[in-house]
Amino acid sequence: MTAVPVPDRAVDAFVEALGRDAVLVAEDELREFRDPYTFSGWDEHAASAVVLPSSVEEVQAVVRIANDFGVPLWTFSRGRNYGYGGASPRLSGSVLVGLLRMNRVLEVNEELAYALVEPGVSFFDLCEAVRAGGHKLLVSVPVLGWGSVVGNTLEHGWGYTPTGDHASSQCGLEVVLGNGDVVRTGMGAMAASRTWQTYRRSFGPSADGLFMQSNLGIVTKMGVWLTPEPECYLPCRVTVPGDDLAPLVDALRPLLLERTVQNVPLVMQDPASGRWGARFALYGHERVVDAQLAIVERAFSGLVGAEVVARKLPGGGVAEADGLDPLEQVMGGVPGLAALEVVKLLGGEHGGQLDFSPVTPLTGRDAVAMCDLLRPFYEQAGFLFGPGIIVTPRSLVFTSHITFDTQDEERARAAFDLYAQLADATGRAGYGLYRTHLGFMDLVAEQYGWGDGALRRFNEAVKDALDPNGVLSPGKQGIWPRSMRGAR
Ligand code: ADP
């Protein structure tokens, strides 16, 4: 794709609509929005300007101007999509629409355990609003707390509490479309709705999914379900000998399916000892949690050499508790930034990473097959293999990092080459990626080609209908507007 320059007249129109301080064009200002996890000399995904709207009306004005001048936009909320491209656009030359200034927590409802947020609200912000309001609620947070609730949810991101499947804990969106219209999904389509954040469907087809991992709209409000603060929080750690990934995973499956374990466990291998470990937590009334722990202990008692370590805490005291490691805090709803240190530890001061994330069924067989598939590629390319495996009731999401020094062009190139090899190998084996870096969106979209590309044709038809000038995030998830499909 060739870069599309922004016409000066479009910049003038943005300035007129948003004010001078909300339109950034200087090179040093744009540099801050670059994907920090690529080689510093590459600029394949460079923005031509950044606009910072402060209201829904300003977002509509931006979309109108983009249509008038044929300017491609790329939306981000906080731009912390690290490992997948940061704030960078798929199409070089796009104007970034940064929603950082739309950062109000519009409502926290303790009675019904939900919040309504604007896109610039980070996980830190939402947790702080819940704390400051004295609400007895638990927010699901990903391992890095600085990203936005909206961006993470729209990208199908994960947290580690009982509402950790973020896309399934979303309830109601407000979206600016490519033609400037604003729609509200779900019950929000009723003018005086009383149930926008409490009932996920509405009358007719559900539209919410169309705006996730998509380039059909700019989300300006989102409802998010929270968990009532439990009486008791009990983080658990189960470890097994290095060859026992399969039995560990198979022992977890019934616990998730029957809902004894209600959060999102993470399975990892300790690089020092080689032991595999599962991290998860129990939440609820103490008597129930005690009973659940007994069931958990029995589930792992048949595994030779298994160790279960659990610690019981009051549900409200996680932020103040001593001696919790970063994941025990995250599973207790306390956001942090500790994972950034791991990238530095493995990749150096200027370390970066790509996140390679295939999905398998939740069986020990598939877990081992995926490790056996990926590991030789990592070893061949000289990268450390150590996936963080997200466990859901029926699937495993392998978040397999490729960590490198972003100042070393050769290693950065090797990391991107490894990613392409891995995507090819997992795609052939029937395992799809749940999300991908900008540089691989076309390649991955190609793998979802059943029925002679039926899903692509569907996506393109919807794109053309809702965004006829193709101004919203061209190329996202491999979906290009009609005028740009030639280059595909
Ligand atoms: P984070 O939430 O981690 O800071 P970003 O803001 O970078 O992440 O968002 C990640 C991706 O999600 C973006 O690249 C964009 O494709 C999509 N996205 C984020 N916010 C919105 C939004 N408000 N409307 C539509 N898409 C969005």
Tell whether 109 and 218 lie within a shared domain.
yes
Tell whether 162 and 221 lie within a shared domain.
yes
Tell whether 181 and 212 lie within a shared domain.
yes
> pLDDT tens, 224-243?
999 999 999 999 999 999 99
Rounded distance between C-alpha atoms, residue 66 and residue 150, angstroms: 23
> Last residue of a domain, which of 98, 130, 162?
98
Q: Is the CB of 200 under 6 A from ligand 1?
A: no
What's 367's domain CATH number?
3.40.462.10
Task: List the residue whose alpha carbon is closest to atom 5 of ligand 1.
Answer: 79
Rounded distance between C-alpha atoms, residue 269 and residue 386, angstroms: 7
In a domain, 46, yes or no: yes
**Residue 41 confidence (pLDDT):** 87
What atom of ligand 1 comes closest to residue 80's alpha carbon?
Answer: 4
What's 205's domain CATH number?
3.30.465.10
Residue 361: strand pairing partners: 395
In a domain, 153, yes or no: yes
Question: What is the domain extent for residue 87?
Answer: 8-98
Tell whether 333 and 350 lie within a shared domain.
no
In a domain, 20, yes or no: yes
Three-class DSSP category at 471: coil
DSSP type of residue 482 = G
Task: List the residue whose alpha carbon is closest to atom 7 of ligand 1.
Answer: 79
In a domain, 173, yes or no: yes
Tell whether 307 and 349 lie within a shared domain.
no
**Residue 3 confidence (pLDDT):** 53
pLDDT tier at 2, thresholds 50, 70, 90: very low
Tell whether 255 and 281 lie within a shared domain.
yes
pLDDT at 4 over 70: no
Tell whether 348 and 387 lie within a shared domain.
yes
> Last residue of a domain, which of 228, 253, 279?
228
Average pLDDT score over the chain = 96
Q: Is the CB of 36 under 6 A from ligand 1?
A: no
| Number of domains comprising the chain | 4
Tell whether 318 and 265 lie within a shared domain.
yes
> pLDDT tens, 59-93?
999 999 999 999 999 999 999 999 899 999 999 99
**H-type helices in 105-175, by residue range?**
123-132, 149-154
In a domain, 241, yes or no: yes
pLDDT at 487 over 80: no
Question: What's the gap between Cα 473 and its chain centre?
Answer: 17
Rounded distance between C-alpha atoms, residue 436 and residue 424, angstroms: 13
Task: List the residue whose alpha carbon is closest to atom 12 of ligand 1.
Answer: 151
> pLDDT tens, 199-225?
999 999 999 999 999 999 999 999 999
> pLDDT tens, 284-332?
999 999 999 999 999 999 999 999 999 999 999 899 999 999 999 999 9
Pocket test for ligand 1, best of 75, 218, 224 (most atoms within 8 A of CB): 75
What's 23's domain CATH number?
3.30.43.10
In a domain, 485, yes or no: no
- CA angle, 143 as apex, 141 and 148 as ends, to 5°? 55
Tell whether 206 and 271 lie within a shared domain.
no
In a domain, 466, yes or no: no
> pLDDT tens, 154-200?
999 999 999 999 999 999 999 999 999 999 999 999 999 999 999 99
> Last residue of a domain, which of 40, 65, 98?
98
Tell whether 290 and 349 lie within a shared domain.
no
106 half-sphere exposure, CB direction, 13 A CA radius: 14
pLDDT tier at 1, thresholds 50, 70, 90: very low
Dig out the tokens for 385 from the structure: 């293999």
Tell whether 111 and 220 lie within a shared domain.
yes
Tell whether 240 and 331 lie within a shared domain.
yes
Q: What is the DSSP string of 262-310?
A: -S--EEEE-TTT--EEEEEEEEE-HHHHHHHHHHHHHHHHTSTT-EEEE
Residues 134-145, mean pLDDT to the nearest whole number: 97
In a domain, 454, yes or no: no
Axis-axis angle for helices 286-301, 245-257 (nearest 10): 150
